[in-house]
Amino acid sequence: MNQTTRHKLFEPFTFAKGVALRNRVVMAPMTTWAGNADGTVSDEELAYYRSRVNGVGLVITGCAHVLPNGMGFTHEFAAFDDTFISSLRRLAEAAKSGGAPAVLQIFHAGNKAVPGLVPGGDVVSASAITTDAGPFSPAVTPRMLVHDVVLPHVTLLPAASPRMLLVTSLMSRWTACRRHVCVGSYMVPP
Ligand X SMILES: Cc1cc2nc3c(=O)[nH]c(=O)nc-3n(C[C@H](O)[C@H](O)[C@H](O)COP(=O)(O)O)c2cc1C
The residue ranges that bind ligand X (CB under 6 A) are: 28-31, 62-63, 105, 182-184
The residue among 30 and 188 lying less far from ligand X, judged by its C-beta, is: 30
CB 110 within 8 A of CB 65: no
The residue among 52 and 143 lying less far from ligand X, judged by its C-beta, is: 52
Name the residue among 107, 108, 91 with its Cα closest to residue 174: 91
Shortest distance (Å) from residue 73 CB to ligand X:
8
Shortest distance (Å) from residue 30 CB to ligand X:
4
Q: How many CB atoms lie within 10 A of CB 139?
A: 10
Shortest distance (Å) from residue 112 CB to ligand X:
12
Shortest distance (Å) from residue 170 CB to ligand X:
24
The residue among 74 and 143 lying less far from ligand X, judged by its C-beta, is: 74
The residue among 26 and 143 lying less far from ligand X, judged by its C-beta, is: 26
The residue among 39 and 62 lying less far from ligand X, judged by its C-beta, is: 62
CB-closest chain residue to ligand X:
184
* 79-94 burial code (b ≥16 CB/10 A, e <16): bbeeebbebbbbbbbb
Shortest distance (Å) from residue 183 CB to ligand X:
5
The residue among 87 and 105 lying less far from ligand X, judged by its C-beta, is: 105
Shortest distance (Å) from residue 149 CB to ligand X:
25
Give CB contacts under 8 A, 24+ apart, made by 179-186.
179/105, 179/106, 179/107, 180/107, 180/108, 180/154, 181/107, 181/108, 181/110, 182/29, 182/63, 182/72, 182/105, 182/107, 182/108, 182/109, 184/29, 184/63, 186/112, 186/134, 186/135, 186/136
